[in-house]
């Protein structure tokens, strides 16, 4: 009954499905012309599939790596492929047991308005528990990235200093707040004064600074981290990270979540060698892809939802309206336009 009612609300289906496909391998910062908007026939769900209508789609830093053509931990997006990405939507037709028309689901069907998705790639969402968009943010991949990538690798202890680069992003903003729940001093780095104010005034970071208006990262970091840095959660890399390593405390832990400063370089840039510091300070530096903890997401979601309920976690969504604006949103996110999680609402 609910399914039938929702189907009515969803309205008639269009005859075509609009998709963003990769048109060219970006050189440097992606351009709009690196993607093409194409019409394809409306898909029909096969047995075991649901036809889903996209409500929100996610633009995330990791996507820059997927379009380089280099296989890393995942298959790359090839020229002509629909762009990959996390999505939230509603079932509009179902040949999959357990999925009914009107159900909200999250999956990974990419930058398109509709998709026939295998049931096993979909997770049902309860819109009464949390806004469904959070499945792409605080209760989704970015939230799990912050939760596991910080706690499992940094193992923060009360009283320690935790530094987060990209501190106002979808992941970094959560890491700083999780650090506070663990009794740490949380210090954030971001690229606008508004982001700095958001971190310190709303999210409870103890300190933060705008790297774009700071000429001497070392001096600023020493000022804001007077006891040194025990945990560094790095989304950014490059010159900021170069300044952090010498200020790490002995036995410091560095979680490498992203290196967004490096993603759009035409060719790799050299930097100071850091391994002598890793040696004398006995640092542990570990990179991760969040999927390694996929079998523990239930635990992460439960804890993050509990902290949300207790008011210990706040999040912000930077919502761009309109499927047509997806590529703009992606490029803007790579340049730091977003505070919190960048989403496209269809």
Q: Which is nearer to a copy of itself, 4 or 73 (CB)?
A: 73
Token couple for 338: 């977003």
Q: In whole angstroms, give the CA distance from residue 177 to residue 184.
A: 10
Q: In whole angstroms, give the CA distance from residue 228 to residue 241.
A: 14
- The residue ranges that bind a copy of itself (CB under 8 A) are 65, 72-73, 234, 237-238, 241, 250, 256-259, 262, 268-289, 292
Q: Which is nearer to a copy of itself, 152 or 197 (CB)?
A: 152
To a copy of itself, the closest distance from the beta carbon of 244 in angstroms equals 11
Q: Which is nearer to a copy of itself, 282 or 302 (CB)?
A: 282
Q: Which is nearer to a copy of itself, 210 or 249 (CB)?
A: 249
How far is C-alpha 50 from the chain's CA centre? 26
Asked whether the beta carbons of 108 and 294 are under 8 A apart, the reply is: no
To a copy of itself, the closest distance from the beta carbon of 148 in angstroms equals 12
To a copy of itself, the closest distance from the beta carbon of 97 in angstroms equals 35
To a copy of itself, the closest distance from the beta carbon of 289 in angstroms equals 6
**Conformational region of residue 288, where left means phi above 0, alpha means psi within -120 to 50, and beta covers everything else:** beta
Beta-ladder partners of 157: none
To a copy of itself, the closest distance from the beta carbon of 233 in angstroms equals 12
What DSSP string describes 130-192?
S-GGGGGTTTSHHHHHHHHHHHHHH---TT-EEEEETTTBTTHHHHHHHHHHTT-EEEEEESS
CA distances from 264 to 48, 65, 335 (A): 39, 9, 10
Asked whether the beta carbons of 138 and 308 are under 8 A apart, the reply is: yes
Nearest to 189 by CA among 221, 145, 144, 231: 221
Length of the chain: 346
Q: Which is nearer to a copy of itself, 89 or 252 (CB)?
A: 252
Question: In sequence order, what are the residues at sequence separation of 6 or more whose Cβ sits closer than 8 angstroms to the Cβ of residue 229?
Answer: 161, 162, 163, 187, 221, 244, 247, 248, 249, 252
Question: In sequence order, what are the residues at sequence separation of 6 or more whose Cβ sits closer than 8 angstroms to the Cβ of residue 133?
Answer: 55, 56, 88, 317, 319, 343, 345
To a copy of itself, the closest distance from the beta carbon of 293 in angstroms equals 11
Nearest to 65 by CA among 294, 287, 310: 287
Q: Which is nearer to a copy of itself, 7 or 274 (CB)?
A: 274
To a copy of itself, the closest distance from the beta carbon of 256 in angstroms equals 5
Map tokens 């069907």 to a residue: 109
Other Cβ atoms closer than 10 A to 298: 8
Q: Which is nearer to a copy of itself, 109 or 297 (CB)?
A: 297
To a copy of itself, the closest distance from the beta carbon of 147 in angstroms equals 17
Q: Which is nearer to a copy of itself, 3 or 238 (CB)?
A: 238
Q: Which is nearer to a copy of itself, 282 or 321 (CB)?
A: 282
To a copy of itself, the closest distance from the beta carbon of 51 in angstroms equals 34
């Amino acid at each position: 009954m609910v399914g039938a009612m929702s189907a009515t609300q969803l309205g008639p289906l269009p005859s075509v499905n609009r998709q963003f496909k990769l048109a060219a391998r970006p050189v440097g910062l992606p351009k709009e012309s690196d993607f093409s908007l194409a019409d394809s026939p409306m898909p029909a769900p096969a047995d075991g599939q649901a036809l889903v209508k996209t409500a929100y789609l996610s633009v995330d830093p990791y996507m820059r790596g997927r379009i380089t053509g280099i296989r890393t931990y995942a298959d790359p997006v090839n020229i002509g492929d629909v762009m990959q990405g996390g999505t939230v939507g509603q079932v509009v037709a179902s040949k999959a047991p357990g999925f009914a028309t009107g159900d909200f689901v999250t999956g990974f069907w990419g930058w398109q308005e509709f998709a026939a998705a295998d049931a096993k790639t979909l997770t049902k969402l309860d819109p009464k528990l949390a806004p469904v968009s959070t499945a792409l943010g605080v209760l989704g991949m970015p939230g799990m990235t912050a939760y596991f990538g910080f706690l499992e690798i940094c193992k923060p202890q009360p009283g320690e200093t935790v530094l987060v680069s990209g501190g106002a992003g979808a992941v970094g903003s959560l890491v700083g707040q999780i650090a506070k729940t663990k009794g740490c001093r949380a210090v954030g780095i971001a690229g606008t004064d508004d982001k700095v104010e958001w971190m310190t005034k709303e999210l409870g970071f103890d300190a933060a600074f705008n790297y774009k208006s700071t000429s001497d990262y070392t001096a600023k970091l020493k000022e804001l981290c007077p006891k040194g840095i025990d945990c560094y959660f790095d989304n950014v890399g490059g010159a900021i990270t170069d300044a952090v390593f010498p200020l790490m405390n002995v036995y410091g832990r560095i979680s490498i979540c992203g290196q967004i400063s490096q993603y759009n370089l035409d060719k790799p840039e050299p930097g100071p060698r850091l391994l002598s510091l890793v040696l004398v300070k006995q640092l542990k530096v570990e990179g991760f892809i969040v999927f390694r903890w996929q079998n523990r997401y239930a635990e992460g979601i439960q804890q993050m939802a509990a902290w949300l309920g207790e008011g210990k976690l706040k999040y912000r969504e930077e919502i761009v309206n309109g499927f047509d604006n997806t590529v703009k949103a992606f490029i803007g996110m790579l340049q730091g336009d977003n505070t919190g999680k960048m989403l496209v609402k269809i």
